[in-house]
Structure 1
Amino acid sequence: MRHTAILCVRNEGAFLLEWLAHHRAVGFTDFLVFSNDCQDGTDTMLDRLQAMGVLTHLRNDGPYDKGGIQFTALKAAAKHPLVKKADWILPLDIDEFVNIHCGGHTLGALHAAVPDATAITLTWRLFGANAQVHYTDAPVLDTFTTCAPAVMYWPWRAAMFKTLYRNDGTYRKPGVHRPRDLNEKKLRHAQWVDGNGDALPDQFKTRRIFSNYGRDNYGLVQLNHYPLGALESYVLKAARGRAVHSDDMLGLDYWVERNFNTDTDTSIQSLAAPRAEAHAAIMADADLARLHTAAARWRKAEFDRLLQLEPYRALFGRLLMTPPSQPLSRQAAQFLVHHANRGKRG
């Protein structure tokens, strides 16, 4: 089977090769990668990887439709031959890593565990900054091992998922969190399951983008999400803007809702050996090794540049003063949900 991952990147060359190595080890056969407005050489890296036959690279330089950069890329992806011939499709971000807990920890093992599923929700597990202040050129998966507990009651973003779905015509277009453009005639054949392999109600087939609160959704598979990185990296992310709304500068609100470090999860190291082998094969290319080093150096230089500007210097200072986030109790979360529901009714 052909498993196609769709990725959008900007100035993330320092993380690209680890991400690729991991997902090749997981079992993805094809990668369709869009880049835009890169200053760190990410686009040049992608050109080299395409020449090596590792992935397919498209520049997403605009103009962009009203949905923004990422939506424009996904709209183009829906028409691309690589997506059309895929058996399974999963749109991902560079800070998301598929983590399969069953069998040999590959996509094949996941499908064997839920053979009738046509869509599998991969719920985020949020990994915090792990007290890392300075960016270092070290693997993300080795550096950031502290995370939110398996059971979270708040915020709702902690329960968001990405959807690995069969390309059987039920959905005509990929979306950020779930496939889009539903074919109503095929909907009755769709079988959605969660990360535990449990069947999901029909509302997930048409509209849901987050799993239910207050339960462990990670029995078979989870999506390790590293949205923050070290404090220095977060300043660069704030300057880049949101993936969907790139003009919105990130602040402490985004940080506080994701910087959970109460638990430790190293289960993704189940693929450490094949990931290292895949990474070594890629880094054996002298051009890629040089480009990776240049991208890592760019991050340090860009942080130094940004800290000369008041908004980013102030943000970095606030990050230094902000302690790790604490998960809310069920009671506190219920209080917030109660008032959220009142607000919807009002």
Structure 2
Amino acid sequence: MTRTPTHVLISSMKDEGPFVLEWVAHHLVLGFDRICVASNDCRDGTDRLLHALAVEGFIAHVPNVLKEGDIPQHTGYDRIRRREGIDAADWLMMLDADEFLNVHVGGNRVGDLTGWAEADIDVIALSAMTFTDAPEVNWRAGPVCPMFTTRLPLRHKANAAIKSLTRNPSRFKGIHNHHMVGWRGPGLVQVMRGDGVRFELPVDVPIWKRLRNLPHDLISHRLAQYNHYAIKTWDSFQLRRARGRGAVAVTDAETQRHTDAYFAERSTGEAQDNSISRYAPQVGALMAEMLAHPKIAMRQAEAEAAYGTLVSPYRR
């Protein structure tokens, strides 16, 4: 009898409270066997909501207490790895709270995507589908995916960013946001892109140079994409900028990515993409099941209220 591969999703979060429930429900519906989330320095109750979800068995939550010089995401991933045994997974994926996997093949589940990979494929490298702020102006409570359906052009530079699924993650030394690092396996790393085309990573080129961004002409969403709600609304984006980045130790003038130009570049699309709506009935049902737990419902309401207070200075 063939064993069903296991799929594990990890993330590191800060001040993402209103968005957590949908994100968790969505990826459970997609078939991830485990979801493990680290959290640090939350002002909106993200950590308390994650804890409530963990108590009820929906996720594993790992508090991520930082010291000076720590990179929040890397430290969080390392803590998850040590505590949660994720190296035993057949496939590992890292996604942020504004990123949602969207599979276009088979039954539209993560296992349908990994099932496309030949047995020697080590990494599946997926392109982003980045969404604009239209038609919203200011943040309001509610699921993100049905709220934002206007996307950037398919080969916009924002869609070049890769997120990956890694087979047998123990063969890599470390975990970064877009891919794993420090290959310890035999031979060369074998990669399959989102269009099913495969390539291998040369030994003399750092992994990040090949698995951070794709050349624009190779961007493809044929098998799957990850929906990236990179800006949402102006006030939410400004809070994100004030919060700082998770991929650097200190966010300053040199390391700041979330500038006005970043927002403007991602608010100009006109095309529609509603493909992720196929999951909506099941995601909504699972969110309702989660909210039937009084502590989860309480923490969700608290997070929305706290987040609303935090974004209020930035409202247009």
TM-score (norm 1): 0.81
1:251 shift after superposition: 2.3
Q: 1:62 to 1:168 in 2, by over 3 A?
A: closer
Larger proportion of helix: 1
Aligned to 1:225: 228
Aligned 1:117-136 pairs, distance under 5 A: 117-136=121-140
Q: 1:115 to 1:32 in 2, by over 3 A?
A: same
In 2, Cα distance between the equivalents of 1:77 and 1:151?
Answer: 34
Aligned to 1:158: 159
- 8 Å Cα contact 1:150-1:215 kept in structure 2: no
Aligned to 1:144: 148
Aligned 1:298-313 pairs, distance under 5 A: 298-304=306-312, 306-307=313-314
- 8 Å Cα contact 2:17-2:307 kept in structure 1: no
Q: 1:124 to 1:262 in 2, by over 3 A?
A: same
- 8 Å Cα contact 1:5-1:92 kept in structure 2: yes
Matched, 1:253 2:231: no
Q: 1:260 to 1:88 in 2, by over 3 A?
A: farther
In 2, Cα distance between the equivalents of 1:137 and 1:57?
Answer: 23
Q: Aligned-residue CA RMSD in angstroms?
A: 2.0
Aligned to 1:310: none
TM-score (norm 2): 0.89
Aligned to 1:175: 176
Gaps of 5+ in 2: none
Q: Identity percentage over the alignment? A: 28
Aligned to 1:69: 72
- 8 Å Cα contact 1:125-1:148 kept in structure 2: yes
Please point out which of 25, 44, 49 is paired with 1:45.
49
Aligned to 1:276: 284
Partner amino acid for 1:132? E
> Could you report, residue by residue, the CA deviation over 1:88-118 in whole angstroms, capped at 9, with x for unpaired residues?
1111100000000011100121122234332
In 2, Cα distance between the equivalents of 1:210 and 1:164?
Answer: 15
Partner amino acid for 1:192? V
In 2, Cα distance between the equivalents of 1:253 and 1:290?
Answer: 37
Aligned to 2:305: 297
Q: 1:172 to 1:80 in 2, by over 3 A?
A: farther
1:161 shift after superposition: 0.5
SS of 1:129's partner is coil
Structure index of larger Rg? 1
Q: How many residues align?
A: 302
In 2, Cα distance between the equivalents of 1:31 and 1:113?
Answer: 22
Partner amino acid for 2:229? Y
SS of 1:4's partner is strand
> Could you report, residue by residue, the CA deviation over 1:227-279 in whole angstroms, capped at 9, with x for unpaired residues?
11111211211211222235235320221232242211011112122212221
Gaps of 5+ in 1: 308-315, 321-346
Aligned to 1:27: 31
Partner amino acid for 1:34? A
- 8 Å Cα contact 1:127-1:260 kept in structure 2: no
Aligned to 1:196: 195
SS of 2:112's partner is helix
- 8 Å Cα contact 2:49-2:303 kept in structure 1: no
In 1, Cα distance between the equivalents of 2:42 and 2:77?
Answer: 19
SS of 1:197's partner is coil
Please point out which of 5, 8, 11 is paired with 2:12.
8
In 2, Cα distance between the equivalents of 1:81 and 1:292?
Answer: 25
